[in-house]
Chain A
Amino acid sequence: MSTSIYSLGKSNVQIETDILSPMERFPGKLWWFTFTIMLSLALMMITLVGWTFVEGLGLLGLNNPVNWGLYIVNFVFWVGIGHAGTLISAILYLFRQRWRTTINRAAEAMTIFAVMTAGLFPLIHVGRPWMVFFIFPYPNERGPLWVNFKSPLLWDVFAISTYFSVSLIFWYMGLVPDLANMRDRMKFEHVPGKISSWGRKLKYGFVRILAIGWVGSGKTWIHYEKMVMVLASLATPLVLSVHTVVSFDFATSVIPGWHATIFPPYFVAGAIYSGFAMVLTIMIITRKAFKLQEYISMKHLENMGIIILVTGMMVSFAYTTEFIVAAYSANKVEQYVFMNRLQGPYAWAFWTMFAANVVSPHFMWSKKLRTNVVVLFLISIVVNIGMWFERFVIVITSLHRDYMPSSWDMFIPTWVDWGVFVGSFGFFFTWYLLFVRTLPSIAIAEVKMDEANDLVAKELGHH
């Protein structure tokens, strides 16, 4: 039995207090400050999107060759972010990677919010959003008129909604024992703080309902463990399928630079890459803000750094393959698109991506660097910038100069494009900030279990 990468030696009560106390206090100034900024950004996005609903998508910088712009870049980016959570909670669970315990809750929450953010974009980028329900296969009196099952966009609808619902259920199920814990703490212990009695009552009510009568008996735990196993098994293929399907949007098209068989694994690797980078960013902030360094230890961060290194190299391999295939293809159009990435008008985007995605992860070879929080934080941000540009390069540079040279054009984003992009971060972090204040961002029950296991291991004499 492997030893835990974190060893607390704390009592259960102490663990509970460490993790739950931020939820029981009235939020501090820093939280309110950040929350106000993020909420304003989210509201700005909603206003801008409302404006495009009234005036039309012409407010964006799109045009005929580049019919998809930053909205789709953001969509793929956020779906990619939404990968790490379920990967950590499902795949790493099945592989018995114990270090996932303390990061899985927040990572899963991040997944949910990232998929929510991502899911907005396909809806707001359509020309007639009020007709967007046409995309769902529901019985209707128009024939009935069905959706087009050949369309990858429809596959997206299924893939993302399935992924979202399974991730949500998985996350919620993981939360139930902790919610019960919260409920019981609220009921039996006096929790200090500025929260009014009315507020506390309301909160207690919610927590009680959400805890769905969890009692924590041995029998319940047996069922619970089985269910988690089943859900993890269900969620595992979804981790791979969702970005595979997103990549089909591009791979099944005829557009040079999109039409590539390497896209599904390439997109999944990229998604894990960016997802872990985002988890790293968030975890570094969360552990600092809520003083959870003991729970999310340097070893955790280092492990994620290693994953970033590995997936970063996978992504670099995919880039290389794309170029080699283009060179080998004897297809002028394909070759042009790739040369254009290197030296065309959007070469700056390509080289930004290259520096961020191909070069920066190699700092992780050094133990010294990958155990330095500041370096890890910077690399995690840089990788996500790189991954955003990767999608920018795929979407924009492929479209802006495709088959017909007569139609070649430039995509110049307007401030509405940028506003919605920035606003999407506001939207995401608004949810995340609400999460860290209302739900335990570390799985208490699992941490306790690890502690208990450690104890047992010690007593059995294993070292």
Chain B
Amino acid sequence: MRTEKRNIKNKNLNIEKPVNRKKFLAFMGGTLGVAGLNCARKPVEKIIPYLSRPPAVQPGIATYYATARAYSEGVAPVLVKTREGKPIKIEGLAEHPVFKGAVIADTYATIWDLYDKDRFKSAMKKSGSTFSKTDWAEVIPEVKKALTGNVRVISKPSYSPSESSVLKKFLNTVNARHIVYDPSGTQQGILTGNEKSFKKAIIPQYAFDKADLILSIEADFLGSWLRPDIFTKQFASRRSPNGKMNRLVVAEAVMSLTGANADTRLAIAAGTHLTFAMGLASLLLPGSMLAGSTEVKNALSKYSPKLVESVTGVAESDLKNIASELMANVGKSLVVGGGTSARDGQEGSLQIVINLINEMLRNHGKTITPVAPIKGSNDISTSQELFAFVAEMKAGSINTLIIDRSNPVYDLMPLGFGDALTKVKNVIFIGERPNESSEAAGHVLASSHYLEDWSDGYSCGIYHVSQPVIQNIFDTKSAGDIWLALQNQPEDFHGFIQNNTASRYASGGWGKLLADGFAVVEKNGPANMPRLIPNAISSVKAPDSPLDGQRLNIFLSVGIGDGSAGNNAYRHEMPDPITKVTWDNVLLVSPELAKEKSIETESIVQVKAGDAAVELPVVVQPGLQKNTVGIAFGYGQKNMTNFRKDLVKGALKDNELGINALQFAKITADGFSYSGIKVSSITKVNKSYKLGLVQKHGSQEKRYIARIAKLSDYKKDPKSGHFEHDLEGKGLYPGHPHPGNRWNLNIDLNKCTGCSACVVSCFSENNIPAVGRLENWRGREMSWIRIDRYYDYYLDKHDHEIDKSGKPIDRSKDVNMLQANVHFQPVTCQHCEQAPCENVCPVAATQHSPDGLNEMAYNRCIGTRYCADNCPYKVRKFNWFENWENKIKDPEQYALNPDVTVRSRGVIEKCSFCIQRIAEKRQEARLQNRPISEDDLKTACEQGCPADAITFGDINSKDTKVAKLDKDKRSYKIFAEINTRPMVTFMSKVKNH
């Protein structure tokens, strides 16, 4: 080659001359060289390999850390999956004795809170009206300088003993006072009521798994009340019709997730929960241990079943039936009540009645115990304290207010907190991301996400440590570190937790604590509640005459909660379990009212209540009385204004998502009223609106898709509720051989509560994009597992609608569908053995695997969408637009699971049965030369399900759980008559009545 090179250099090559061998080679070399240059790669940017690999990090292999999310609503123990040093998935901590691996959708979604592009990236300082970056060395002294005069700290309830103690020290150092408020009122109601009933303000431990009969009054314990993760786990553990199945009775105004799961649901008029509870107590009183108490008798005597019927709308006979059922289950029942929609202006009043009922039913000490309580002390300020504080602010006597990870400007809007805040000289905000309150602050101290920094939590008698699993992504500090820094403590919060708190609680040592994620301090067990003070009841004032006009309840939604993390697209993309609305909150109205006002779902109405006149969209919701309307809390916050434009396009107001329901809230002398608010008018507005509704039809049209039977019928015939035409025919093509494993998914509809944790778990595991409200309106949601929700009546042999007693239903007499059953049915790809999608793909991009999976080759897919058309289950999703490239912003990409392909525009995608998990475990098993065990292989939805409704496993081996469930009499396939032979088995729902 040397000579040829010289040739090129020295001689002036002339093509005209005859080409000899050397010249030819020279040309070839030159051409190849130029061709090679063309393909030179772009210089690769800094990739710094580990010089010595940390022992815990094996590239390509996930590392799991046990940690906990300690936040204002409790402690949620989690297992965090990290890959190459980055957390990518939240999972349940199965070893936890109370949670047993249960995680709710809200906690799954925190992974995206971590990689939120809108977070504060450093401490900030306001100059004029704009914030500018500053560093900690500068901001801490400035904040310290402001800590003179009247200093106050406002925050939400805390479950972290270490944070509480460093905060207490800080308060002592600067002589400040602490105000704590509870945005949803759930904890405050229970704590206040228990303080009055027992002189002990705790949130006790509930044992839903020990109760044969559960009555909930407005408490959405499966969705948004206290700890739905624990309660769902406990509740679902008793939903097997073969054992002693529990029975759930719910009395509520607006359909909640719990109400939807009720065996008997009593729709009460909004704002009359107290009357219902008092009426029930009054029926239970004779013959009970409190029968002798005259105070109780006097307080209750007024509330006869007749009065209860006239006020709440619940038939006398229904109330009497519930009372006698409860009396038959003394010591084996559980009555709970409360929540946002029961916040009626007298904090704790419902809890007092509930306490009385449970006492009469001897449930205290059995299904309700004070040992290892959810919350052991009351740190929440009373409403009076809160009112006084706001008055102080308004008077201008507060010099400095530190707002700790909360948003009082929004949450305490009914008190005029925002206006009062302008009178405070120095406002300092601690938090992760901007909100209404941070806007009003002069300094912002950026706090870390719980996965980035140290913290701890104490709940249910268990001490949890919250350890960092990634280094701080931005220049943030944990709240504990901030408090320590503000009081000149050289120690860091990590050291404080390890040396002061953990040593006190965890006897097994620091290493074990970090490995386990928790340490049991106090074990739950039978122990009685403190002595009940019966005459606490005398302070309760329940409505004793029907509430006039239309009444509004503000409730807590499952997806958004109080809205403090509402800038997370996935929290909005998860459809509301009941309404199936995404990216909006709506006014829920009964079918009867809708008919009267000639409004329908997606209409816009103007609601006037008090001073507020608000336009908002409507969803017609079965299960409401005519005089009741409802709206979810938490929407219309500032943190929801920063979404990518295409996600929120077409929202009711530009740059605002949903409606702030607190505009309707009222303040009473005793607290906040979110329940039974009088609505002066609801008028239809002539505007068209596109609502991001992912399910537009609510009935299964008698197609036996989600099947149901009554427990009494089931006991007689386990096949009860099944469709007689389930048959399997022959196909044109021979079946697929499955020599090894054959995967099968079993979904027990009796356990499924519809909580949607599986949906969010799947979003996170399988890199599913959020597509936004207009795309959802169009019908282009991308979720691989969806939860179908139907409202239907029982059917008799001739497909006529009947009620639970077998009488024909007259739809015109049940316009509001109060008698209807609510079904939840998670639907994933059914992985049909005779898959209609596989036959029709012209390029063979979807194929059947030997282990029974219906596989998608994204690279082969050209996007004819024939498969999606031909799928009877409509589980195939098409990428209508590019959902990732140029759409996600740094650092959002780190939340993606590196084991799952990110799908480009123009291809079909669908549930893969978490094939990446199967592959991982198969590889592990092969290396160890053993079969895959069903215990270590769980799909994301199975693992995500707090109710244990989903079972995944190998149906080829006889003794797996899934193979046994498949033979259960309740098991069936949907649309078996098309001969698709799905690999997803459903087990019919059995209602206990």
Contact = CB atoms under 8 A, between A and B. Distances in A.
Interface of A: 55-58, 61-68, 122, 125-129, 131-132, 134-135, 145-148, 150-154, 157, 249, 252-255, 332-333, 336, 399, 401-410, 412
A409 B781 CA distance: 12
B528 interface: no
Nearest to A152: B840
Interface stretch (B343-351, B435-443, B447-455, B876-884): B876-884
Given A134-B862, A409-B779, A147 B703 contact: no
Contact of A58 (B702, B780, B978): B780
Given A135-B843, A153-B866, A406-B695, A126 B788 contact: no
A16 B703 CA distance: 68
Given A67-B868, A127-B861, A405 B703 contact: yes
B842 interface: yes
Contacts of A333: 703
Interface in B849-881: 860-866, 868-870, 872-874, 876-881
B836 A254 contact: yes
A409 B842 contact: no
Contacts of B827: 404, 406
A64, A255, A399: most-surrounded residue (chain B CB, <10 A): A64
A405 B842 CA distance: 28
Nearest to B872: A403
Given A127-B861, A406-B827, A58 B705 contact: no
9 contacts: A62-B880, A64-B780, A64-B876, A127-B908, A150-B733, A253-B869, A254-B836, A406-B697, A410-B779
Contacts of B904: 128
Given A126-B864, A153-B864, A404 B788 contact: yes
Contacts of B844: 145-148, 151
Contacts of A404: 705, 788, 827, 872-874
A153 B786 CA distance: 29
A122 B843 CA distance: 14
Given A56-B880, A127-B878, A255 B869 contact: yes
A145 B861 CA distance: 13
A333 B701 CA distance: 9
B367 to A, nearest CB: 36
Given A152-B840, A406-B827, A126 B872 contact: no
Given A63-B780, A126-B906, A135-B843, A405 B879 contact: no
A65, A145, A404: most-surrounded residue (chain B CB, <10 A): A404
Interface in B801-856: 825, 827, 836, 839-844
B775 interface: yes
A54 B788 CA distance: 34
A254 B788 contact: no
B905 interface: yes
A151 B701 contact: no
A129 B905 CA distance: 11
A63 B652 CA distance: 23
B276 interface: no
Contact of A153 (B733, B825, B840): B840
Contacts of A64: 779-781, 868, 874, 876-878
Interface secondary structure of A, over-half rule: loop
Nearest to B858: A128
B178 to A, nearest CB: 48
Contacts of B978: 254, 403
Contacts of B836: 253-254
Contacts of A410: 696, 779
A333 B695 CA distance: 19
A122 B877 CA distance: 19
A131 B862 contact: yes
B700, B843, B907, B980: most-surrounded residue (chain A CB, <10 A): B843
A148 B842 contact: yes
B788, B872, B879: most-surrounded residue (chain A CB, <10 A): B872
A57, A254, A409: most-surrounded residue (chain B CB, <10 A): A254
A403 B830 CA distance: 14
B597 interface: no
Interface secondary structure of B, over-half rule: loop
B705 A127 contact: no
A146 B975 CA distance: 31
Interface in B776-793: 778-781, 786, 788-790
B861 A128 contact: yes
B840, B866, B869, B877: most-surrounded residue (chain A CB, <10 A): B869
A401 B696 CA distance: 11
Nearest to A333: B703
A127 B703 contact: no
B699 interface: yes
B874 A407 contact: yes
Given A56-B882, A253-B869, 12 more contacts: A57-B863, A58-B775, A66-B779, A67-B868, A126-B863, A127-B908, A128-B904, A146-B844, A252-B840, A254-B836, A255-B872, A406-B825
Nearest to A414: B778
A362 B503 CA distance: 94
Contacts, number: 165
Nearest to B646: A58
B906 to A, nearest CB: 3
A127 B865 contact: yes
A268 B836 CA distance: 25
Nearest to A58: B880
Contact of B872 (A129, A402, A409): A402
A68, A129, A407: most-surrounded residue (chain B CB, <10 A): A407
B873 A128 contact: no
Contact of B790 (A58, A152, A399, A406): A406
A253 B862 contact: no
Nearest to B775: A58
Contacts of A65: 779, 874
Nearest to B693: A409
B881 A56 contact: yes
Nearest to A142: B860
B930 to A, nearest CB: 32
A268 B869 CA distance: 23
B905 A56 contact: yes
A65 B876 CA distance: 9
Contacts of A153: 840-842, 864, 866
Interface string B350-361: 000000000000
B529 to A, nearest CB: 44
A84 to B, nearest CB: 28
Interface in B956-977: 975
B906 A57 contact: yes
Contacts of A146: 844
Contacts of B874: 64-65, 402-404, 407
A61 B778 contact: yes
Contact of B842 (A63, A66, A154, A401): A154
A131 B839 CA distance: 20
Nearest to A412: B778
A63 B877 CA distance: 9
Contacts of B880: 56-58, 62
Given A255-B869, A405-B790, A132 B862 contact: yes
Given A57-B906, A63-B779, A151-B840, A332 B703 contact: yes
Contact of A148 (B696, B697, B778, B841): B841
The 10 closest A-B pairs by CB, nearest first: A127-B863, A127-B906, A63-B779, A58-B880, A406-B788, A407-B874, A67-B865, A128-B906, A409-B779, A148-B844
Interface in B677-701: 695-697, 699-701
Contacts of A145: 844, 860
Contacts of A58: 775, 780, 880-881
B646 to A, nearest CB: 10
Nearest to A403: B872
B533 to A, nearest CB: 50
A59 to B, nearest CB: 8
